[in-house]
Amino acid sequence: MTMLPCEEGHSSVYTVSELNAQIKGLLESTYRLVWVKGEISNFRMPGSGHYYFTLKDETSQIRAVFFRPQHRHLRFVPESGLQVLCQGRVSVYEPRGEYQIIVEIMEPQGLGALQLAFEQLKKKLEAEGLFDAARKNPLPACPRSLGIVTSPTGAAIRDVLKILQRSPYPLSITILPVRVQGAEAAGEISAAIRTANSLADSFDWDLLIVGRGGGSIEDLWPFNEEIVARSIAASTIPIISAVGHEIDFTISDLVSDLRMPTPTAAAEWVLARLDHLQRTLSQNEERISKSVTRILVNAEQKLRFIEERLQDPRRRLTDLRLLVDDRSERLRLALVRHLEKCGAAHAHLTAKLFYLSPARSIQDNRTLLDGQISRLNLHFCRLFDACRFKLKEYAARLESLNPLAVLARGYSVTFRLPDNRVLRRAIDVQKGERVLVMLSRGRLECTVAEVHDETTVS
């Protein structure tokens, strides 16, 4: 850090803040207002809306800031790579010790500011598709109600009205007055277009003419504003842009549904459209008239030819009457013969039915059925008797095999307790064990006192 002598001849030490403050004051007092040209690089715009960038040339660069209040009315948008001429004052940003130029005015080099703004907006809207023919509204074949967005006092509206008054066709004209130059003009033109669309149902406008007479690029600039271009693009009513002279070209011309070089040319287009429609209708009317005349002539010739070939209808009617009488008599005779034939067939079938009556067959079958029933009953009785006899025989045999009958003759069955096993030998039980003796009537529970293994009882 440099040591600077004070008035008393002693050295003093600066703090960084003091040094930056003195440098800032020195620069701002020395370079109050300077013009600097260079190329923009590192351009950025944070949320504050201020422009921060670097101005550079082939060998050097300087930081720059363009505050929002100063660039609000800038016609174009700065971007990196753009050559500009800036007017501003040199200052120091003390917290970082960086010196910079605070821009007050900016102009592009090469293209003018308005021409640059025109090219930038044109490129932006073209990228969004606002110039595409596919999104444009179809123009009315027969304009009947026009809305004209222009200055009510300009020469353009007088020329337009003078031309439209020559129209032999009924035509409704509504003037939507706006300013066509100045800072407020773009907002008024945009508002008039939106108003026309909101009132379209009430006024039934089928075409809007938006334009003004010629002038400088500054005078025509409202028709290059983005707000006007977007209002035209959003319109559901077809719009003709008619701005300036033949050589003038605006953003409105590109966005609109049709571009006319002048307001007068737009009015002439409307009349030409109506004349073309009238000529087309007249030609169609003439063509239809000739076609109808030709059809009538051909029909008349055919009618005359048919009349010549057509016989007297009274004679034809007499022939038809005779034919009807003949066919009626033949029909009556045929009906009588048919009834006689049907009567004979009926009598024959009645006699045949009498001989083939089912009553006798029913009686014979009933007698046969009664005999069969009697034989069936007899057969069943014999069958039941045979079955009853066999049942008695089987019962007797079953009774002879009944073990209870053996017990009734004095025999008994002995079971060992507690497993209820039938005892066949004395040695199958031991002294003191309990046994169950089954008799013909009742049973005995006994205790074995002695066991004798003998085959016979003495």
| pLDDT single digits (tens) 41-54 | 888 888 888 899 98
User: Mapping DSSP to helix (H, G, I), strand (E, B) and coil, where does residue 55 land?
Assistant: strand
- Of the listed ranges 59-68, 190-199, 420-429, the one predicted with least confidence: 420-429
Structure tokens at 287: 């063509």
Query: What is the domain partition of the chain in residue ranges?
Result: 4-110, 119-277, 407-447
What rounded mean pLDDT belongs to the chain? 83
- Global pTM value: 0.47
Q: Predicted confidence band at 110 (pLDDT cuts at 50, 70, 90)?
A: low
Burial status of residue 160 (CB atoms within 10 A of its CB: 0-12, 13-18, 19 or more): buried
34, β-bridge pairs: 88
Using the predicted structure, report yes or no on whether residue 398 has a pLDDT greater than 50: yes
Domain 4-110, CATH among 2.60.120.1060, 3.40.640.10, 3.40.50.300, 2.40.50.140:
2.40.50.140
Q: Predicted confidence band at 142 (pLDDT cuts at 50, 70, 90)?
A: confident
Q: Predicted confidence band at 2 (pLDDT cuts at 50, 70, 90)?
A: very low
Q: What's residue 210's pLDDT?
A: 92
- Of the listed ranges 30-34, 132-136, 365-369, the one predicted with least confidence: 30-34
Is the bond preceding residue 418 a cis peptide, omega within 30 degrees?
Answer: yes
**In this predicted model, which residue has the larger pLDDT, 207 or 217?**
207
User: Mapping DSSP to helix (H, G, I), strand (E, B) and coil, where does residue 35 land?
Assistant: strand
User: What is the H or E stretch that residue 339 is in?
Assistant: helix 313-355
Q: How far apart are CA 213 and CA 197, in angstroms?
A: 24
**In this predicted model, which residue has the larger pLDDT, 75 or 240?**
240
What is the DSSP-derived secondary structure letter of residue 133? G
Using the predicted structure, report yes or no on whether residue 103 has a pLDDT greater than 80: yes
Task: Give tens-digit pLDDT for 300-347.
Answer: 888 888 877 766 677 777 778 888 888 888 999 999 999 999 999 988
**In this predicted model, which residue has the larger pLDDT, 11 or 270?**
270
Q: What's residue 358's pLDDT?
A: 78
Using the predicted structure, report yes or no on whether residue 194 has a pLDDT greater than 90: yes
In contact, 54 and 64? CB cutoff 8 Å: yes
Using the predicted structure, report yes or no on whether residue 277 has a pLDDT greater than 60: yes
Residue 33 CB neighbours (<10 A): 10
Q: What's residue 458's pLDDT?
A: 44
Q: What's residue 10's pLDDT?
A: 47
C-alpha distances out from residue 251 to 158, 220, 313, Å: 24, 10, 81
Residue 299 CB neighbours (<10 A): 10
Task: Give tens-digit pLDDT for 165-189.
Answer: 887 778 888 889 999 888 888 999 9
Using the predicted structure, report yes or no on whether residue 111 has a pLDDT greater than 70: no
* Mean pLDDT score, 120-129: 84
Q: How far apart are CA 114 and CA 108, in angstroms?
A: 9
User: Which architecture does CATH list for 119-277?
Assistant: 3-Layer(aba) Sandwich (3.40)
Q: How far apart are CA 133 and CA 141, in angstroms?
A: 18
In contact, 187 and 222? CB cutoff 8 Å: no
